[in-house]
């Protein structure tokens, strides 16, 4: 990790070891530039937060959430922080990653290829584009 503090590096490693089935399944599709050549990393520190998956080139964070994240104000605050720092945030439910993986991957590609650029809130995903790319 670039310029990561030792405690951030250890926390990121801990989060990677504790990933759930949905995160593991999505990582198998994103790792090693498997998604149309886009490079993703796991558990990237963004300020005090850690992004489940991030494409630095496109400033995109992809989060995989369980039901505990429904109507979570902390997630909205976190997304707002990441948006202010120039990161777009795309969230999917665990169940959708596991059962509708092709659709999830197509949505990620649509954002990466700038075919989906405005805020979207739907039952299966939420997208919050960055406010700017300066952060």
Which residue matches tokens 């989906």? 116
Task: Name the band, by pLDDT with cuts 50, 70 and 90, for residue 135.
Answer: very low
Please tell me which residue, 66 or 93, carries the higher pLDDT value.
93
Q: Please write down the HEC assignment for all residues of the chain.
A: CCCCCHHHHHHHHHHHHCCCHHHHHHHHHHHHHCECCECCEEEEEECCEEEEEEECCCCEEEEEECHHHCCCHHHHHHHHHHHHCCCEEEEEEHHHHHHCHHHHHHHHHHHHCCCCCCCEECCCEEEECCCCCCC
Q: Please, what are the domains in the chain?
A: 6-128 (3.40.960.10)
Please tell me which residue, 125 or 46, carries the higher pLDDT value.
46
Query: What tokens does 113 get?
Result: 């290829």
Query: What tokens does 32 get?
Result: 């090693």
For the residues 105-112, what does the mean pLDDT come to? 94
At 15 the pLDDT is: 47
For the residues 122-131, what does the mean pLDDT come to? 76
Task: Name the band, by pLDDT with cuts 50, 70 and 90, for residue 122.
Answer: low
Percentage of the chain exceeding pLDDT 70: 76
Report pLDDT digits (tens) over 31-81. Answer: 999 999 999 999 999 998 999 999 999 999 999 988 664 567 888 899 999
């Amino acid at each position: 990790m670039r310029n990561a503090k030792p405690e951030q590096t250890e926390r990121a490693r801990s989060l990677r070891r504790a990933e759930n089935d949905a995160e593991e399944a999505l990582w198998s599709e994103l790792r090693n530039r498997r998604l149309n050549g886009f490079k993703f990393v796991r558990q990237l520190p963004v300020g005090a937060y850690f992004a489940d998956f991030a494409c630095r080139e496109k400033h995109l964070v992809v989060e995989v959430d369980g039901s505990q994240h429904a109507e979570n104000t902390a997630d909205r605050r976190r997304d707002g922080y990441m948006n202010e720092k120039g990161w777009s945030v795309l969230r999917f439910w665990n169940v959708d990653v596991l059962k509708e993986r092709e659709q999830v991957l197509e949505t990620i590609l649509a954002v990466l290829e700038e075919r989906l650029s405005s805020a979207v809130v739907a039952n299966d995903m939420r997208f919050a584009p960055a406010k700017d790319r300066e952060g």
